[in-house]
Amino acid sequence: QLQLQESGPGLVKPSETLSLTCTVSGGSISSSSYYWGWIRQPPGKGLEWIGSIYYSGSTYYNPSLKSRVTISVDTSKNQFSLKLSSVTAADTAVYYCARHPYDFWSGYLNWYFDLWGRGTLVTVSS
């Protein structure tokens, strides 16, 4: 059964870069049928999509965060990663990784998320 697990520092200082990794187990990140995404949820607030990546390296980013976000993939480790630069307290959130279906033959990308990790809390504080 495929599972996603987020990992990374739980505390980041303001102005520094937040770095998280999502490890895919029980299946291959190189599947042609899925994109892999990051979503976050600030305390007491709603969910916000951050960005997504395909195993080939093709990416989509939320325009509201694009200038600060980099998502990369390491197929040899079955992982994908998030870097968010110049963080402030507003970036304090639970960060989730998730996957969403892609129809390789038609090129159609679905934007609902059919499998999620449990999430990891990242606090931005000095």
Partner 1 sequence: EIVLTQSPGTLSLSPGERATLSCRASQSVSSSYLAWYQQKPGQAPRLLIYGASSRATGIPDRFSGSGSGTDFTLTISRLEPEDFAVYYCQQYGSSPPGGTFGQGTKVEIK
Residues of this chain that bind partner 1 (CB under 8 A) = 4, 37, 39, 45-52, 60, 62-64, 96, 98, 109-119
**Token reading at 51:** 């960005």
71 vs 105: CA distance, rounded Å: 24
Residue 30 or 116 having the CB closest to partner 1: 116
Residue 16 or 48 having the CB closest to partner 1: 48
In whole angstroms, the minimum distance from the beta carbon of 60 to partner 1 comes to 5
60 half-sphere exposure, CB direction, 13 A CA radius: 12
In whole angstroms, the minimum distance from the beta carbon of 95 to partner 1 comes to 12
In whole angstroms, the minimum distance from the beta carbon of 82 to partner 1 comes to 13
Residue 69 or 87 having the CB closest to partner 1: 69
Residue 14 or 111 having the CB closest to partner 1: 111
**Which DSSP string do the residues of 44-103 spell out, in sequence order?**
TS--EEEEEE-TTS-EEE-TTTGGGEEEEEETTTTEEEEEE-S--GGG-EEEEEEEEEEE
In whole angstroms, the minimum distance from the beta carbon of 94 to partner 1 comes to 11
